[in-house]
Amino acid sequence: MPGSSSFLIVANRLPVDRVGEDMWRRSPGGLVTAIAPVLQRREGAWIGWHGAPDEQLDPFDHDGMHLIPVPLSEREVELYYEGFSNATLWPLYHDVVATPVYSRVLWDAYRLVNQRFAEAAAEVAAPDAVVWVQDYQLQLVPAMLRKLRPDLRIGFFLHIPFPPGELFQQLPWRRELLEGLLGADLVGFQRPGGASNFIRLCRKTLGLQYQKHEIYVEDRVVRAEAFPISVDFSELDSLVREPHIIARAAEIRQELGDPEQVLLGVDRLDYTKGIGQRLKAFGELLAEGSIKPGEAVFVQIATPSRERVEEYMRLRDSIELQVGRINGEQGDLGQQPVQYMHQSYGRDELAALYLAADVMVVTPLRDGMNLVAKEYVSCRHDLRGALVLSEFAGAADEMKQAFMVNPYDIDGLKRTMLSAMRATPHDLSRRMRSLRRRVSTYDVDHWAKTFLAALEA
């Protein structure tokens, strides 16, 4: 018996966090920021884990969205989520900047949980419904779901990079993953390079024929294409025009001791984000006197993330050691050049920080897109502020007017951070105008619409 939802999002997590007994709040993070508005506009349901292990919850409504919780046991969180998703796939898909763990126990849990998500979707989807599966945690769902419900229109979007064959081929279960994705009618990637990596791998590993964006799988055609994700430009643009945000931005600068330059980093505390590299560059600029004491403050917001995964514990220790060293050596009583916050902030505070920052430093070693770069630009209607952006972020394809860096090149990073700090108002406004034109035209609404139009075509 098919269900009644004609539009479904399937994602590892529901777009809410618990804030009390049966009280929920929309959660931060790239995926949610991007998709919640789309679901609210269409009458649909969102299937995902609700965040607490060993707990079975009934479907509920929140914020105009119908939410269907999928249960996960403590052990499954450990093996499927922290394990295969975040200790195997995450590093493998991000240029192996950390060493991926290959374990059959983790793989078995990944398969089992993907099957559960597929069954949940099969149960609630109306006949011929459109189902949009999200991200690397659920790459087997498209094929599993097609097997249960061949009538559905299935889309898949990968939010993180899809790696080149040379790396992907390490994966002992490479065939199964490719076959899992090929269960979709449309597989979306952030960059054209991700789509072509995938297409070439299907040819090489599975021997499939293809032409341009189309892969021929038995009697079906699967499209693989890039759909660069974006942000809600107009929401941010109007938020930062509100008096309380403007006042808060001024207050932040004051609290920082009114330095000439405020540099800002906003990231989940993740080893792909290049936080260590940017701090190293900043620390060296201070140490060699290129930045005078008191001239600049670096604010680094590092939102807690995946805290039980070993690599993330190590990263936290190393970043906190680095911050302590810089402040200890370059600071003074009452004056710390690096303001490091291992906390999560509300949208308003984040917007005020963007507005207060002269230089936004986005230096991932590899990143699917990076929404922070696009959020910063959306907030700068004053046409001030400089964006320093890694060429290894998906956003670099579109944001050519940023101050581009290779984050592995510390000297280059130092030079570019200094140029961004010293740029003339004319240069900054010229760059910012063009960046804003890009992000406002290709916003998150455009992303979702073009993906769904391609899926439903």
**What b/e readout covers 421-437, taking b as 16+ CB neighbours within 10 angstroms?**
bebeeeebbebbeebbe
Among 160, 279, 377, 402, contact with ligand GDG (rule: CB under 6 A): 160
Say which amino acid occupies 448.
A
Minimal distance, residue 393 CB to ligand GDG, in Å: 7
AA identity, residue 12: N
DSSP state of 41: H
Number of residues interacting with ligand GDG: please give it, by CB under 6 A. Answer: 25
Residue of closest CB approach to ligand GDG: 30
- Interface with ligand GDG includes 33 (CB under 6 A)? yes
- Residues numbered 3 to 32 that lie near ligand GDG (CB under 6 A) are 28-31
Told to check if 266 binds ligand GDG by CB under 6 A, we report yes
**How many Å separate Cα 145 from the centre of its chain?**
25
* Cβ–Cβ < 8 Å for 280, 410: yes
Q: State the pairing for strand pair 186-189/220-226.
A: parallel
Please provide residue 65's backbone torsions phi and psi, each rounded to the nearest 5 degrees.
-120, 140
User: Nearest Cα to 272, choosing from 377, 166, 159?
Assistant: 159
Give the residue, chosen from 199, 264, 326, 369, that forms a contact with ligand GDG under the rule CB under 6 A: 369
CA nearest neighbour of 168 among 211, 212, 200, 213 = 200
Least Å distance between CB 303 and ligand GDG? 4
Nearer to ligand GDG, 117 or 376 (CB): 376
Q: Which stretch binds ligand GDG (CB under 6 A): 167-175, 177-185, 218-226, 341-349?
A: 341-349
Strand-by-strand arrangement of the 60-62 sheet? 60-62, 65-69, 45-49, 5-13, 125-134, 153-157, 186-189, 220-226, 214-217, 209-211
Tell me: does residue 347 bind ligand GDG (CB under 6 A): yes
Q: Which of 6, 73, 290, 303 binds ligand GDG (CB under 6 A)?
A: 303
Q: Residue 125 or 387: which CB sits closer to ligand GDG?
A: 387
Q: Which of 159, 223, 248, 436 binds ligand GDG (CB under 6 A)?
A: 159
| Binding residues among 189-248 for ligand GDG as defined by CB under 6 A | 229
Assess 143 for contact with ligand GDG (CB under 6 A): no
Q: Note whether 367 binds ligand GDG by CB under 6 A.
A: yes
Q: Which residues bind ligand GDG (CB under 6 A)?
A: 28-31, 33-34, 159-160, 229, 266, 268, 301, 303, 344-347, 350, 367-372, 375
